[in-house]
Structure 1
Amino acid sequence: MDKKRPNWESQILLADAFDVPEAMLVTHPWPTWLPDPDAEEASVSLNRRNFIVTGMAAALPALAATPASATGRPALVGTETVQYLQTAVLPLTTMPTVERQHVVPLLDSSLATVTGLLQNARYDTRTGVRLNQLAAQLAQTCGWTRFDIGQQEQAGALWNQALAHAKAAGDRDMISSVIADFAYQGLWTDNAGESVRLLEGALARPLHATVRSLLHLRKARAHAALGEAASSRHHLAKSETELARTSVGEPPNWAAWMSEADVEIDGGRCLIDLGEQAPGMKRIDRGLSLLTKPRSKTYAIFQTYRAEALVHEGQVEEAAAVLSSALGTARQIGATRCIDQVAQISDRLRGHLAVNGVEELLSDVNAARAA
């Protein structure tokens, strides 16, 4: 399957999710039915949500867009059941990665339980919305568990499922969340051009300022990966402006972690990708000093950004120390993609075995990859 082009089934699913007429997919072939990047700041009618996601997923089971239509099923799901499920299951989706890695089977079974109720039980409209919201959050989290261990197609399938549940619930914020996840995946799979297109669609609708900050930041990263310096700086500045802007209401839970630390570190990575090593590393160091400890996976990833800049500048011993720290965190949280990232950068140090810490780092990397 061409991972740079959503398959037809995925495009139909997404067109339905964002109220785009199916005929538009025929008259405006992919990707021309996406919003014009130059119209990003324009007001967009709420009935034209031109988002897309990559077509990694297999065909999804059909989900009723109107939960109340599920009449005639044998058992009625009451509000108490949903409340219990939310109380018992939602905390699993916000666990730190170092702990969540131990409960992946519980997350999977919880998702199966909720989707089983949606498909086989009887419930009213409000209960159906709550069940779909819960299923969307679970599918999104389950997708991240696969993404972190390098199972990209499985992650894509689960995020597509999350998108379908978010559509069924009418939860626009969750739809934006899933789009952000796919865009991030594009950066990790050398598909930055797809990330740009995803985020152009997402930014064409009204969003909370914190959410816009996050999406602009990811777009800045994607443009930097493509070597598009002016566009990268433009969206980095937009991210900073939006984060500082007061917005009505609290940001959605999925974006509440977004902070100045993220802007500084990802902004630094943008500069490094654009060849500005010293100012990029300065921003990363500032961001790392602002980052809170519970975000261990994020800390490990950001450490590798710093190490990559150190390697480029020839500071091998310091780079080895930073990579060793990142590797230790990655092993602790079971994040294969972080271990692979450390390994890729460490390979560039093989010509410096006499430098303190390098030989030990390479040995540790080999052990981590063999585990």
Structure 2
Amino acid sequence: MPTQGWSELGGRLRAMREAAGVSLNAMAAKTHYSKPYLSQLERGIRAAGSDHVTAYSRALNVAADALSGPSQDPLRVAHEWLVADTPVALHREAGRRVGESLVDELERRVIELRLLDDTIGGGDLIPLVRRELADTAEVVKCGSYTEPVGRRLRIVVGELAQLVGWVASDAGNYLEAERTYLDGVSAAQEAGDSALAGQLLSSLAYQMSDVGNPADAALLAKSAVAGARTASPVVRTLLLERVAWANARSRDREATRRALDAVDDAYEERSPGIAEPHWVYWMSRDEIDVMAGRCLIEMGDPVSAAPLLTAAIDGYDADHAREVALYQTWLAESYARAGELDAARGVIERARSAAADVNSVRLIRRVEAIRRLVS
């Protein structure tokens, strides 16, 4: 998706629908989203994302680019963020009591930053998200606000902590990521948001699966699921994926298969009528297939993994260069472990070429590991 405000994107979706003479009722029937849900998307109350653009594109028979608008250079957008004053800094200068308008702006900004992570490597994004988290945490600590505003502020802190941890891990700063995830858990718990606390703990478990002890990661990932008992279906899908990956890295075949089955069951329970937090906007059937393919490789079944990975990569947005390249590394590994070395070398070279333009330690290390495997 191009980097732009999600309220702006919702307005563009509405304009294109109205220009085509399609009512909200008709669009609901064409897309299988409910009429109230689509109305909230178009008015900017809910965040519009790539899945919604795809649904509108198919329903209106127009190109996705026409709906999402002209692309911007994500690095330029990031630089503009970095040199501009944050809403917290402007509010601090005015010396006002913290109200809903500031929280509204902070909630919008965390979504914008999360979407930037789709197209910018951790090395470029980390200074932006660090600053945003520090400013928002200062408001929580020193500001004056009502209890409802305070809860929303703590949720923003928790969401920013998850984003900072994720970006720091992508940049290779694992200790910073761990500390930030745990700080975020505290903020989420203070806000009473068990789903967000589970997301933070499972994000840490995901890191531990790759750079720590996978058995400890599996225990932590299971704890995240247990602590988020009332989580929505797509949130449960995400948390269970982290359980599957930790079990796969621990070489526990049976536990991995059970977790992958639970992932499928949770995802099938999703519904337009069930509210989901924005931080699971990227979860899709392709993402589930990628994780299943990765787990199959870990369990010694690379032949079954390759078709899942290939189909997912083919359907992925080319603007998301890091994710596409990362998924290509697993496809290359599946070929290599199946003895198809020429195919593996071709795929990993495509991933290496993409990695040259992305400031991501995680991607660079993964590419080099697979290049060594096929050399």
In structure 2, which of residues 102, 107, 118 is the aligned counterpart of residue 81 of structure 1?
A: 102
Equivalent residue number for residue 128 of structure 2: 106
Superposition deviation, residue 185 in structure 1: 0.7
Residues 25-51 of structure 1, C-alpha deviation per residue, up to 9 Å, x if partnerless? xxxxxxxxxxxxxxxxxxxxxxxxxxx
Secondary structure in 2 matching 1:91: helix
Equivalent residue number for residue 245 of structure 2: 221
| Aligned sequence identity (%) | 25
Consecutive unaligned residues of structure 1, counting only runs of 5 or more, are: 1-73, 351-371
Equivalent residue number for residue 191 of structure 1: 213
In structure 2, which of residues 165, 174, 184 is the aligned counterpart of residue 162 of structure 1?
A: 184
Equivalent residue number for residue 118 of structure 1: 140
Q: 1:215 to 1:161 in 2, by over 3 A?
A: same
CA distance in 2, matches of 1:86, 1:246: 24
Structure 1 contact 139–159 (Cα < 8 Å) conserved: yes
Superposition deviation, residue 317 in structure 1: 2.6
CA distance in 2, matches of 1:139, 1:117: 15
Secondary structure in 2 matching 1:94: helix
Name whichever structure is richer in helix by fraction.
Answer: 2
CA distance in 1, matches of 2:248, 2:261: 13
Superposition deviation, residue 135 in structure 1: 1.6
Equivalent residue number for residue 262 of structure 2: 238
CA distance in 2, matches of 1:159, 1:97: 20
Residues 211-257 of structure 1, C-alpha deviation per residue, up to 9 Å, x if partnerless? 22222222222222222222211211221122122455132211221
Q: 1:152 to 1:117 in 2, by over 3 A?
A: same
Structure 1 contact 265–286 (Cα < 8 Å) conserved: no
CA distance in 2, matches of 1:327, 1:249: 40
CA distance in 2, matches of 1:147, 1:294: 21
CA distance in 2, matches of 1:113, 1:322: 42
Equivalent residue number for residue 315 of structure 1: 340
CA distance in 1, matches of 2:300, 2:111: 42
Superposition deviation, residue 268 in structure 1: 1.4
Equivalent residue number for residue 259 of structure 1: 284
In structure 1, which of residues 113, 128, 136 is the aligned counterpart of residue 150 of structure 2?
A: 128
Superposition deviation, residue 340 in structure 1: 0.5
Structure 1 contact 281–309 (Cα < 8 Å) conserved: yes
Residues 259-307 of structure 1, C-alpha deviation per residue, up to 9 Å, x if partnerless? 1112212111222211112112122222223333344322222111111
Structure 1 contact 96–295 (Cα < 8 Å) conserved: no
Superposition deviation, residue 343 in structure 1: 0.6
Residues 166-199 of structure 1, C-alpha deviation per residue, up to 9 Å, x if partnerless? 1222222211211220121122114221221122
Equivalent residue number for residue 201 of structure 2: 179
One-letter code of the match for 1:243? Y
Q: 1:314 to 1:209 in 2, by over 3 A?
A: same
Secondary structure in 2 matching 1:293: coil
Structure 1 contact 177–254 (Cα < 8 Å) conserved: no
CA distance in 2, matches of 1:84, 1:214: 27
Superposition deviation, residue 125 in structure 1: 0.9
Superposition deviation, residue 96 in structure 1: 3.6
In structure 1, which of residues 206, 231, 239 is the aligned counterpart of residue 230 of structure 2?
A: 206
Secondary structure in 2 matching 1:292: coil
CA distance in 2, matches of 1:80, 1:227: 49
Structure 2 contact 119–319 (Cα < 8 Å) conserved: no
CA distance in 1, matches of 2:205, 2:149: 31
Superposition deviation, residue 314 in structure 1: 3.0
One-letter code of the match for 2:290? I
Equivalent residue number for residue 26 of structure 2: none
Consecutive unaligned residues of structure 2, counting only runs of 5 or more, are: 1-94
Moved over 4 A (4+): none
Equivalent residue number for residue 65 of structure 2: none
Provide the TM-score with structure 2 as the length reference.
0.68
CA distance in 2, matches of 1:268, 1:208: 24
Alignment of 1:1-371 (within 5 A): 76-99=97-120, 101=122, 102-204=124-226, 205-247=229-271, 249-350=274-375
